[in-house]
Chains A and B, each alone.
Chain A
Amino acid sequence: MLEPLFSLTSIIALLSSTMRTTAPVLLAAIGGLFSDRSGVLSIGLEGFMLAGAFAGFVGAFYSGNLWIGIAAALIAGMLLAFVYAYFSVSVGSSQAVAGTGLVMLAAGATGFLNRVLFRSSGNFVRVTPFQPVAIPGLSRLPIIGQVLFTQNVLVYLAFALVPLTWFILYRTALGLQIRSVGEHAKAADTVGLNVTLTRYACVLVSGALGGLGGAYLSLAHANTFIEMMTAERGYMAFAIIIFGKYNPWGAMGASLLFGLADALQLKLQVAGVPVPYEFLLMFPYVLTLAAMVMAGKTTAPAALGSAYKKN
């Protein structure tokens, strides 16, 4: 019964689903890109996503408004990002350690609060998720209309951020500032640019977009919060940035590849292929490993991962 997998409707459904599985990692990857380009490893993304998923759900659940959930996710992501920025930029801690600690903090805190808030409710608490918004005119295009223009608003936002980020990084004075801080902090300092402020701002952006990517999972995908629901997507986003050669277009391409893998394994699970579902679930992780190996020693921003101390 594998035949229907390859029918036109099936392929359209797969591609459309790919757009949705891509969006959360793409949001996180774009956020992480700002952080990485400013010289701060985006290794805490998993934590930002987890915090965003939880805060987004809590905000939406109690207010009944998805946008309040989104606001809560942005704030939660940025709060954690601030902690991360404090340790990686101001204290000058090992970013690997601080980032990992952050993920542990987010995992523990979301788990703890989830049980505190929802322990009494035996059955699943749910929200009504974001619905697809058909773009007038474009959504009527054959195939493309369904794949690209009948999605929820967060999907549009994720993909719109790609050209925007490219423009900011490569066509504006701000982008020049961000990249210079990530390449050679002292050079930026000697022309009067504020290295610390730039890095804080970029890490906060990564927190906001990571939080948004997490909120996508709880508010547009699962419609509820499940502990550890990000399932290492934050780490995948980190790998995607490297695989995409620290460029927004590259990050989009790599995210789509991951989204496709995710959508495909979901589809195969539903189709009931005679492979244990654990192997299908493993697929994105194996793909990440392969991507890391293939990316090899990409030219990263020269100052990535090193704290800057004035004299």
Chain B
Amino acid sequence: MVPLYALETRGITKRFGALIANDQIDLTVKPGEVLSLLGENGAGKTTLMNILYGLLRPDEGQILVGGRPVEFRSPRQAIDLGVGMVHQHFMLIPAFSVAENVVLGMRKKTGAVISRTRLRSSIREFSHRYNFDLDPDARVGDLPVGLQQRVEILKSLYRGAQILILDEPTAVLTPQETGDLFRVIRHLQGEGKSVIFISHKLNEVMEISQRVTVLRLGKVQGTVETSATSPAELAKMMIGRDLAAPSSPRTGGYTGPTLSLQGLTVRREGKEACSGISLDVWGGEVLGIAGVDGNGQNELVEAILGTAPVASGRVILDGRDITGKGPARAIDAGLALVPEDRQTRGLIMDFSIAENLILESHRAAPFRRGFFIDEAQVNRFAAGMIQTFDIRSGGGASAPASSLSGGNQQKVVLAREISREPKVLVVMKPTRGLDVGATEYVHRRLLEERAKGKAILLVSSELEEIKGLSDRIAVMHRGAVTGLVWPDVSEEDLGQLMTGAKTMLSALGPRGGGEQ
């Protein structure tokens, strides 16, 4: 008897203290079906998936695999029952080869002593079966992200996964790579495997899945057949209201190039991370940098800040050459940076909100008085910022940054950077991990700064964010700028630029900003 559902959950509930991450979740996946799990950040998707994979244990509820109730105490039990997971942040070991990553933890299959030749041929063979074309000996850290994802998928399949959970698998892919992934998913479907596809991208959900389960605030909002729904309906279910596109009213004009990168080349660990990048960011414009993660965006930003070694080229900020002069000089020249990883690069988590707010400006008056820091000034400033930026902190300005929610942490970073009245604002993935409300707040603030004539460089892998906010878009591939385009560029073109399949340099200066 073939069970009706490959996997089923009944009333799964998971609490973290007062927060209910999952509230009575019912979910079903049929054999050979692709089910999408849709929800915004913080809706409880990842928690649910970690429960299904044995990384977390539910407080209440039941999981059924193949119609039989099971209890996952560890990932191993989930694996043994045919559940495989591709994590959003890959669980791969960069220093290991493809083959080592695939067989890790499978002593039953490899034996205590691992024969390299046997291992190599078996992985190569298995990889061919799915047209994956992976070199078993390649070091995973050297592979592009798309191939790393295949290693992850192969890892699950090699363990005999019948149900594959893909957690935000397209977040790191180009549109073309996403197409490839969808072909793989359909192939797996053809073999009778079930896929749970987690995403917050509506068009992808519409394209790949048969059914969609929508989560909001830890609860199931509903499950619908994909053929009987529309992106608009899904969006409404996901957010609880209509999705407002970031509006970008133009108020100010352009004030000429404020940040100018001239032939910037960055070499790190013997590799060229950025090759001869030339870009101008004008006052009053948002220049978006699109590209798959790891194509030189981080190095570019670090070169502007002055923490990455610049092999050649120059960084000119408001007429001053700050190339290789280090962060202090760049900041003094008028650079502000909202880094991607706010918990390690943006904030000092043990420091209070007030201390974090003066992390840069403590060096000068009014916060500095001789050798000392003027605490009264700092506290007055912090109280003002907390009000202006609506930073919700239980303990006021003296509460540590670690006690804040992600959105409020980001507000502290924004408050610090914006309050210094910089000339150039470099912003990296500013809404990563934030909920819709906080995302809208961040976007609004950025557009306000643009209206004030600031030059904004926005680095993001979220194409919607880039297209919604930018006046122009630069596309990076392998450390080079392959495209300089207007935000109305087609997804197709953008994808080809991101993979380096073509080059397109049309938007050399902002519209109406005079030709350069």
Contacts and interface: CB of A to CB of B under 8 A. Distances in A.
Asked if chains A and B are in direct contact (CB within 8 A), the reply is yes
Interface of A: 171-174, 176-177, 179-180, 183-184, 186-193, 299, 302, 310-311
Contacts of B155: 191
Given A176-B104, A184-B91, A191 B75 contact: yes
Contacts of B110: 173
A311 B95 contact: no
A191 B93 CA distance: 12
A133 B325 CA distance: 64
Contacts of B114: 171-173, 176
Contacts of A173: 106-107, 110-114
Contacts of B111: 173
Interface string B66-86: 000000001111010000010
What size tier do the contact residues of chain B reach? Answer: 20 to 34
Interface of B: 50, 53, 55-56, 74-77, 79, 85, 87, 91-96, 100, 103-107, 110-114, 116, 155, 159
B87 A190 contact: yes
Nearest to B155: A191
A302 B94 contact: yes
Given A180-B96, A187-B104, A191-B106, 13 more contacts: A171-B114, A171-B116, A172-B114, A173-B106, A173-B114, A176-B104, A179-B95, A184-B93, A186-B91, A188-B104, A190-B75, A191-B75, A302-B93
A253 to B, nearest CB: 21
A147 B77 CA distance: 54
B113 A171 contact: yes
B113 A190 contact: no
Given A173-B107, A192-B105, A183 B96 contact: yes
B284 to A, nearest CB: 43
A187 B93 contact: yes
19 contacts: A171-B113, A171-B116, A173-B110, A173-B111, A176-B100, A176-B103, A176-B114, A177-B104, A179-B96, A180-B93, A188-B105, A190-B75, A191-B75, A191-B79, A191-B91, A192-B74, A192-B77, A192-B105, A310-B55
A311 B93 contact: no
Given A171-B114, A176-B114, A191 B95 contact: no
A136 B77 CA distance: 53
Contacts of A302: 93-95
Closest 9 CB pairs between A and B?
A192-B76, A191-B105, A187-B91, A173-B107, A190-B91, A183-B93, A184-B93, A193-B105, A190-B75
Contacts of B53: 190
A170 to B, nearest CB: 9
Contact of A192 (B75, B92, B116): B75
A78 to B, nearest CB: 23
A193 B95 contact: no
A179 B114 CA distance: 14
A94 to B, nearest CB: 14
A279 B95 CA distance: 42
Nearest to A177: B105
A176 B97 CA distance: 11
A40 to B, nearest CB: 17
Contacts of B74: 192
Contacts of A189: 55, 75
Contacts of B159: 191
Contacts of A172: 112-114
A302 B92 CA distance: 12
Contacts of B79: 191-192
A174 B76 CA distance: 17
A302 B74 CA distance: 24
Choose among B56, B93, B116 the residue with the greatest number of A CB atoms under 10 Å from its CB.
B93
Contacts of B107: 173, 177
Contacts of B85: 190
Contacts of A184: 91-94
Contacts of A183: 93-96
Nearest to A186: B91
Contacts of B55: 189-190, 310-311
A193 B104 contact: yes
A48 to B, nearest CB: 27
Nearest to A184: B93
A169 to B, nearest CB: 11
B106 to A, nearest CB: 8
Contacts of B103: 176
B478 to A, nearest CB: 24
Contacts of A174: 112
Contacts of A193: 104-105
B269 to A, nearest CB: 10
Contacts of B77: 192
Contacts of B105: 177, 180, 188, 191-193
Nearest to A170: B114
Contacts of A191: 75-76, 79, 91, 104-106, 155, 159
Choose among A177, A186, A189, A190 the residue with the greatest number of B CB atoms under 10 Å from its CB.
A190
Contacts of B96: 176, 179-180, 183
Contacts of B91: 184, 186-187, 190-191
Contacts of B113: 171-173
Nearest to B80: A192
B92 A187 contact: yes
A264 B79 CA distance: 57
Nearest to B108: A173
Contacts of B87: 190
A310 B54 CA distance: 12
A204 to B, nearest CB: 20
A36 to B, nearest CB: 14
A189 to B, nearest CB: 7
B19 to A, nearest CB: 14
